Amino acid sequence: MIFVTGGTGLLGGQVLFDLVSQGEDVRAIYRSKSRLSTTLHLFKYRNPQVGVELFNRIEWVQGDILDIPALTEHMANCDQVYHCAGLVSFHPKDHADVFKINREGTFNMVNVALELGVDKFCHVSSTAAIGGDNTAPITESTKWKNGEITSSYSLSKNAAEREVWRAREEGLKVVIINPCVILGPGNWNESSLTIFQTVSKGLKFYPPGSNATVDVRDVSYSMIQLMKSDIEGERYLCVGSNQTFKELMTVISEALDLPPPTRLAKYWQVWIARWALKIVKGITGRRSAITKETVHNLFADKAYDTRKLESEIGITFRPLTEQVSDGISGRFE
């Protein structure tokens, strides 16, 4: 039996689909019953013929990774664990929540896995937990740097990794995967898929920075291959393509039959927008979408070296055009 957290999210849902399609017995934890429809949509999109049947093979259990007694009950008799649950937020007001869910939740997960004698544990981290500057190319061994602009999210994911490594010292076999921005089918108002929603409204400006994206199918495939192998005690960057934000927005715009952005956003323009949104927040109570961390990321140039993972499992990552195509054709509310 395989235990999966975060199964109602973009990556967790894909992991569930791939595992069940391969005939694995899977138990998945969920918090809100209403979120199950999101995973069901994914299954029907991936396999219109038998998607519902595959979905119904999952043993769903309601619970929370912060509830240790429930975790202990639900994880019982499971040989492997895929820990995909987490909170992604770069807003300062979410500092306590991201640490509680990402670090404390992972602390609970590995401790229960140790107690129950789980054979192997796969932890989903992030490129945000590797390195702290614009060192290029960034590798798994890039030194972590905590600076003034380091987000709470980055700190929480790095802290979560430390819990996983601590559990390994206590006898748990682990692998860690560090994906970049994940693209795939889903709700464009959620997680990393908001990039599709933003571009779909039409953009004239693009930020000067760069980052990386990866297809959700490639992340899931990598995780499963690592868990099936004898590899343990390693972490792997999982990056499909490195590109500028202009290139990313252009590919999405063209796939949506929209004109791509052509004007470079200046640093001062973004900061004016940030302060304007703060004023709006003061009047309306709506949270600003632009923070110091997001401004920094828009202007940072980051590139990642994924040769370690490629050499270990022989994966060929899908190109950006294919990542975008799947995200657009698989959109659902």
Helices and strands per DSSP (H, E), number in the chain: 14, 12
15: left (phi over 0), alpha (psi -120 to 50) or beta: alpha
> Would you state the pLDDT for residue 32?
87
Domain limits for position 102: 2-187+210-242+302-318
Helix (H) / strand (E) containing 239:
none
Classify residue 113: in a domain, yes or no: yes
The CATH number of residue 43's host domain is: 3.40.50.720
Q: pTM score, two decimals?
A: 0.93
Angle at 183 between CA 83 and CA 201, to 5 degrees: 135
Please tell me the predicted confidence (pLDDT) of residue 282. 41
The tokens for 240 are 């499909």
**Tens of pLDDT, residues 249-296:** 999 999 999 999 998 877 656 655 554 444 334 433 445 555 666 666
Who contacts 177 (Cβ-Cβ below 8 Å, separation ≥6)?
Answer: 122, 123, 124, 125, 219, 222, 223, 226, 235, 236, 238
Grade residue 145 by pLDDT with cuts at 50, 70 and 90: confident
User: Per the domain annotation, does 91 fall within a domain?
Assistant: yes
Structural domain contains residue 293: no
Q: Domain total for the chain? A: 1
Inside any domain, residue 289:
no
SS3 123: strand
